[in-house]
Structure 1
């Protein structure tokens, strides 16, 4: 086999994690019969399986795991995270104030009422600028690097172990991606919280950023980075791993036909449902750290010890939780829906629902 043939075979195998059940069945059949696993080998007629594989491959306009593929995933992440977080700014404003001023903002409805009375309708949209920019940057890194690290760790593990330990692959890939994404998010998150919880602090993003840096220095923008990692890394690990598992379960248990035979509209509906359920789970896991982030970014010189002493363990785990569950569930479902809609728009398959073959399957 010459170098070009080896390259084609590698590229074909690298798409295995994202392939349909029909594709995986064909790949295993070819492996067991000792045939070459190149795209050309799948174009030869061999019944419905190979024809389905050829048709599926022809639909794709972007080569899987190519630089253009990762660029598309990055762009989808920007659209999904930036827009959705900006859209739920009113909920975020009330949540942050409930976390910082519990005696004043006692509940969701009363929180909205107090905010409207004191700050007017404009008060609900404080911090939308840093929210849009910060979460767009975070989304770019989160989704783009997740796709990169998922393939990277799968290549290290090999096909058999990547299949056997696929959940660990999802967890490791999402954690690595979020570690980078939070560095991009942290400065804007610090300014956002200050704008939302301190009326009169600044008029907007540019004014707020300059005042923050003047008061606490550039490094002050990153004082909430460790709590942010504590909030976002478990959140993202739960978000991606549970989404992958939920979508896979929906296609196996709730939908009476293979994913590749479902309409794009149905596939996007599954993505939204899987994202919403995953978002609820994310909110519960990451909520204590979310309270810490809000507390630290609101008060100059505040420490984690101060937060625990003032809020208590129960307060860290429950204050603002109901609102955050609603907000994060809706937001995460919308994120996966937008992300997959963008992927479909550029000719890529929707996320989830196709896992690598297990070692048991390979032995059949």
Structure 2
């Protein structure tokens, strides 16, 4: 039994220390956001120290985020084990299903050339050879290891926290709130890490000459800027959030239903069953939840493939001169940005004549007007400019999504559904099966479908 000092505040529920903990959490949050005037003014360093200061602040934010999550009972040791288990099972199953991925991506990108799964497979084998079925293998392996690790680990941690906050007893069925909050929060984190690698994979499948390997693909995507890396973030969220929600919700609900049938009403859901029976029930629930997840996420998957098909035309209008010194702002022709409503020229000008800002400063609009903030740079790029480009890419992806939906129609959104359905069923059932096995190897008790938590 764990000592009292090792149990989180949410479990102990000690009122005497609650205000202290709340104040510490708020202070950590404010420091992590860096919104105080003192921090803003302290950033006026000499230009030669911008990279060092920016790196120190980034590391400081990571430390503060770890402390912030730890203050509300987040278990980082357990998170690392769940990350390894989730990443390993996702990596294994996505490697096995890479050929399915290539076939359905080809069908989504060019439905006239590849109308059916059979014709698509035969044309790939004849024209490109068998190795084409493994195209994008590196991006798939690395991307979905990160994605799976973050998704499974974050889901279990958020699930435990929601149960503690709502005081849900262990061994009881969970409400919809637990699944929606936990799955959505976990997928937002995982998809942000996956998005650049998924863009590389789609480009490599669509154009075999795009890059020879993952390193070259990432270098090309990086050179094209944040717009190319995260233009598919919103479609990826539209695809992955329903996928993850349907995956975990249907799996836990079906597994709890199957376990209740075998256990009976007199015993709690987390009662032990013979191991072979446990694995059979998990496999049945995984196959059925895979069908639900495939249907829920198919429209977003088609949109994501279409939106990442070609190099972003917006990037050509934002061409910058790479020969300039790292400390200088790169000039952008404002006439080429007339169609990009989300681009804010105020970050590149300091007065009405649109003169370039000083190398060490960048203009920021606030409620009090226009003032100058030191520009933090890692070598040759501005953190603030990159952040604004990231938000710009996300805003523009909304317009692209609606255009693609109108162009394809409801039926067109389900292009390539048959190979993808086979892929997702194999993925989900296999992931849950191996996830339970790897967790058992790490000595982590199973909680999914049992209404249980990882309480110490």
TM-score, normalising length: structure 1: 0.76
The offset of 1:107, in angstroms, is 0.7
Are positions 1:146 and 2:146 aligned together? no
In structure 2, C-alpha distance between the alignment counterparts of 1:165 and 1:248, rounded to whole Å: 10
Distance 1:106-1:13 versus aligned 2 partners, 3 A rule:
farther
In the alignment, the residues of structure 2 paired with residue 261 and residue 146 of structure 1 have an alpha-carbon distance, to the nearest angstrom, of: 23
The residue that corresponds to 1:275 in the other structure is 286
- Given the superposition, is the C-alpha separation of residues 165 and 295 from structure 1 closer, same or farther in structure 2, using an over 3 Å criterion? same
The answer (yes or no) to whether the contact 1:93–1:197 under 8 Å persists in 2 is no
Note if contact 2:282-2:432 (Cα within 8 Å) is conserved in structure 1: yes
- Supply the RMSD in Å over aligned alpha carbons: 2.9
Among residues 311, 314, 317, which one is paired with 2:408 in the alignment?
Answer: 311
Partner residue of 1:31? none
| Separation in structure 1 between the aligned mates of residue 276 and residue 11 of structure 2, nearest angstrom | 27
- Counterpart of 1:337 (choices 416, 433, 441) is 433
What are the within-5 Å matches in structure 2 for residues 95-244 of structure 1? 95-159=104-168, 166-214=175-223, 216-244=224-252
Please list every run of 5 or more consecutive structure 1 residues that lacks an aligned counterpart in the other structure. Answer: 15-63, 358-364
Equivalent residue for 2:38?
Answer: none
Residue deviations 1:75-94, cap 9 Å, x none?
10110112211211111000
Q: Are the equivalent residues in 1 in contact too, given 2:105–2:202 (CA < 8 A)? A: yes
Deviation at 1:353, TM superposition (A): 3.4
Q: 1:82 matched to which residue of 2?
A: 91
Q: Residue 68 of structure 1 is aligned with which of 77, 80, 87?
A: 77
TM-score with structure 2 length normalisation?
Answer: 0.61
Task: Tell me how far apart the structure 1 counterparts of residues 77 and 295 of structure 2 sit (CA, whole Å).
Answer: 35
- Corresponding residue SS for 1:298: coil
* Structure 2 CA distance for aligned equivalents of residues 79 and 187 of structure 1: 20
* Contact persistence 1:141–1:181 (CA under 8 A): yes
Shift of 1:238: 0.9
Bigger mean CA deviation after superposition, 191-200 or 283-292 = 191-200
User: CA deviation digits over 1:246-292, x for unaligned, max 9?
Assistant: 11111112577986442323322322221221111001011101000
Secondary structure of the residue that 1:159 maps to in structure 2?
Answer: coil
The structure that has the greater radius of gyration is 2
User: Between Structure 1 and Structure 2, how many residues are aligned?
Assistant: 304
